[in-house]
Amino acid sequence: MCGMLLALLALAHGGAQRQLFRQYGQTEGLSNLNVRCIAQDHTGYLWVGTDNGLFRYDGGTFQIFGHAEGLANTEIIGLAEAPNGVIWAATQGGLARLSGKRFVTVDFGVPGEADGIVFDPAGVAYVKYPKGISRGVPGKDGSFAFKTIVSGDIQAITVLNGDLVFGLNGDVMHMAGGMPQSVGASVGLPSDHWEALSLDSLGNLWARSPTRLFELARGQARFVDRSIGVPHTNEGRLFSDRHGRVFVSSLLGLVIVEGNHVSLIDSAHGLPGDYVGPMLVDREESLWFGVDGAGLARRLGHGEWVSWTREDGLLNSSVWAIRTDALGQLWVGTSGGLTILDAQGKVMRSWTSHNGLAGDRVYSITPGPAGDFYVGTGPVGVSHFDGHGRLLRTYGEDSGITADQASSLLVDGEKRLWVMGNGGCFRSRTALGAGRTLTFERVEIPGIPAPRSFRHVILDKAGDVWIASSGGLLRFDGKSWKVFGSEEGLKALDLAAVAMGRNAIWVSYRDAFGMSKLGLGPDAGKVTHYTMQDGLSSNEVYAMAFDLSGRLWLNTDAGVDVLEEGRWWRHYGSQKGLIWDDTNSRALDVSPRGDVWVGTSGGMSRFRRADYPIPEVAPPVVLTSVRGVAREWQTGDRPVLPYSQRSLYIRYAGLSFEAEREVRFRYRLNGYDQAWNETNERSVHFAALPAGHYVFQVVAVNPSGLQSATPASFEFTIRPAWWQSWWFVASCLLLAGFLGYVFWHLRVRAFLAQKELLERQVAERTAQLRESHRQLEEIAYFDILTSLPNRRMFTEEFRKRLAMARRPSEPFALLLIDLDHFKQINDTYGHNAGDAVLVETSCLLRGIVRESDCVARLGGDEFAVLLFTAQDPETVESVCHRILDSFAGGIPFENTTLSVGCSIGIAMYPEHGETQESLYKSADVALYEAKRTGRNLFCWHRYQTGD
């Protein structure tokens, strides 16, 4: 018993490292934290049985299966997947299997509790209950015929190599010829309550009881006790992976057996709790287990990362510098001082300013030529230690180092110590040696004005010194300096770190510019830049180092990136086992055995590559739900949706748990858009889709770019709306034709009516124009007041008559008539009276002459008459007498009679003139003579007169 306790103490305290785990509980939807069993189905879903409900995990959320989903009893004791892919659950109240999205109860021939269930390759079910085992043979219709085949105190039950193996009454048995036969006691297995049995990938048989662990190695004749170092448990659980590792539950944590090595992970080193229950290694080789009362936990990564924090012995969790020595000891510089760990990770010694360290913030560590170490601190100082971690001497400002901190240290080929800092670059004046006291000189670099920041220094194989500074990349070959800047291809001069490897010099930048590679030798002058677009997880690169396999490791503010063979190999962050994502400057070291050490602001992590390859599995993609407006659809359904329900909400998941938060998705909806859409979301909503046939497809993509081999798909059809149906469209076409005909007919009628209207309007307009023309002519040729031809028309008529008279030489008479005393009437009675006289005069004249004669008003009180029918003087004079007589009675106006007379001048064609001018002049002279003679009379030209 004492030996057991010592073994447990050695197991528990042999190393202080921790691993990282993610805990799953109520936040993720796992509402019950007492996990009883875990299984992964062929699709990739993780199933978790608890004291109150069965849960299915898809990498994002847990979906519960309880009473509402058909489980008569929700205390889940065991889970198994049949060869046909159906999930079965053993519960406190019996047996159930999944059908669609609901569980149905299965009668296994025994009422009450089912403690567990397993299947053989032929699909035969074996159900364990408290007093026996019931065997169920599947029928063609999918039903099972159960029958009890073993009775007694049954403990473990499993199928190994196709055979049923179980614990019975303290022994381990297997079925042979329908009868149980012992395979335990006969080969050295003591009688015990064997609750778990497992056959590992190497062919070794393991048996676990609450207090003991035994192994029957392949090819060996007897079981061997492997209980040393394995704590007790209340319920024995075992799980073996494909690499020969065996995972053992216990009350004190998780036990991992790898060959002869036994390790324990407990709550003091990262485990969410100590009491570990059921375990599972999934297809990505992530380790899952239940922790009593703490829910479900998953180890981040595959065990290649272990970590240390202040809780594990570091002086501070912010780690700035790491170095491993030839003995495997680890020198760790933190914000609290220097810690030295032995090869097993146990703290050996710590140094701070209180016990002689130059400063409490350790920024750099470099080995000396004699197995010793130099440690750079802030405030500025360098402490010298021997190989056993004993402090020998400390150098500060009094030694010539005047920077604010020792950011980076280096011992060059001449064994002189270089110190980099903010504000200066310093070098020891003499070579390092036993018993020598060092002094330092500031190194003046041509082309680099002071003050400058010198951040990182390395030594290449040729002995040249390379420095990353705020003024560019510097190289010292022992004689002269060369400065590399923008002309050599650098994106900026302010550098953070430098590394040498693969025939190139690599630099990172103080600002977020990523990293650059400057070729050397045959590749001299060739510059390659790397940023997030080329695969970096961040453009903030703090430190760089090559491991023993030639892989380039980068510290960033988003974790660690690894470059292998020119491509980004893998990214490590807190989701894959790194203690913290925000790494620190120069806190990156590769040990002689090939381990990679990374310092972060949350602790220190060590990467040790597994002895076996870690599978890179493309994430399977599944549709977790498809909801329409009125119902939810199964993924295999092909619904035809009415137009009124043309919206769908589809949820999907990538069943990759290792990178569950980094999985991306690409989806498309064939029939709507052939292009793939990329998203981090796990759902998509299609609203108001048009009628048609659609196929939704989605694939999952892991951080390495691997995507699901087969898309998850859902096919559906949306019926056209009633107004889009053929009969409606045909009816609309017929109606449109009819309406078109009616419209055409009405249009023709309207056109004809319009034509008629237009013709009437044209006719009316023509008449109006004619009338307007007539009115214009009347205005142009007639006197407005008397309606007699005016002077213009009289002149034209005169000219026409004169032309006609010339041909047969027909005589006619021209009378010029002027009213006597007309001005006196205007002045006495007004213009209205004058107008009345003029109008009456025109009436009198028209009444006296014939219609063929022409009477005109020439203007004012002057009138003219062309007598075409009077060809002799007697007739002319007769007309003149009638004119004079017509004025004898006066002209009535209002209440009076106006006394008016007239004078007439007569000229005869051709006697008195043969032209219009001469004839008119003759008549005018005669008129003048009539007025001169006494008025109210007529006169002939050449002074012929008459009364």
Could you list the beta-strand ranges (E) of 658-710: 664-670, 673-679, 683-686, 692-701
Within 8 A by CB and 6+ apart from 794, the residues are 854, 856, 858, 864, 866
CA dihedral 434, 436, 437, 443 (to 10 degrees): -100
Residue corresponding to tokens 């006597």: 820
Within 8 A by CB and 6+ apart from 158, the residues are 118, 164, 165, 166, 197, 198
CA distance 45 to 56: 6
Do 280 and 39 form a contact (C-beta atoms < 8 A)?
yes
CA distance 943 to 690: 113
Taking every pair of Cα atoms in the chain, the longest distance, rounded to a whole number of angstroms, is 185
Do 1 and 296 form a contact (C-beta atoms < 8 A)?
no
Do 307 and 31 form a contact (C-beta atoms < 8 A)?
no
Question: Is the torsion defined by CA of 771, 774, 779, 782 positive or negative?
Answer: negative
- Tokens in use for 610? 């597994």
CA dihedral 523, 555, 348, 314 (to 10 degrees): 160
Which DSSP helix (H) or strand (E) runs through 741? helix 726-781
Cβ-in-10-Å burial (0-12, 13-18, 19+) of 767 comes to: exposed
- Tokens in use for 365? 């560590």
Determine the Cα angle at 697 with ends 695 and 701, to 5°.
Answer: 175
- CA atoms within 13 Å, Cβ hemisphere of 16: 17
Q: How far is CA 162 from CA 186, 199, 550, 557, in A?
A: 21, 12, 46, 51
861 a catalytic residue: yes
**3-class DSSP state of 534:** helix
Do 204 and 216 form a contact (C-beta atoms < 8 A)?
yes
Do 554 and 560 form a contact (C-beta atoms < 8 A)?
yes
Q: At 939, which amino acid appears? A: C
Nearest Cα to Cα of residue 135 among 108, 162, 106: 108
Cβ-in-10-Å burial (0-12, 13-18, 19+) of 541 comes to: buried
- Tokens in use for 919? 């004839």
Q: Is cis: bond before 910, omega within 30 of 0?
A: yes
- DSSP labels for 316-384? -S-EEEEEE-TTS-EEEEETTEEEEE-TTS-EEEEE-GGGT-S-SEEEEEEE-TTS-EEEEEETTEEEE
**3-class DSSP state of 863:** strand
Characterize the bridge pairing of strands 862-867 and 683-686.
unpaired
Catalytic residue among 225, 853, 861, 872: 861
Within 8 A by CB and 6+ apart from 714, the residues are 623, 626, 633, 635, 637, 650, 695, 696
Do 858 and 792 form a contact (C-beta atoms < 8 A)?
no
CA distance 198 to 191: 17
- Tokens in use for 784? 């407005």
Report residue 433 CA to chain centroid gap.
62
Which DSSP helix (H) or strand (E) runs through 734? helix 726-781
Nearest Cα to Cα of residue 196 among 261, 276, 265: 276
Residue corresponding to tokens 């981040």: 300
Catalytic residues: 861
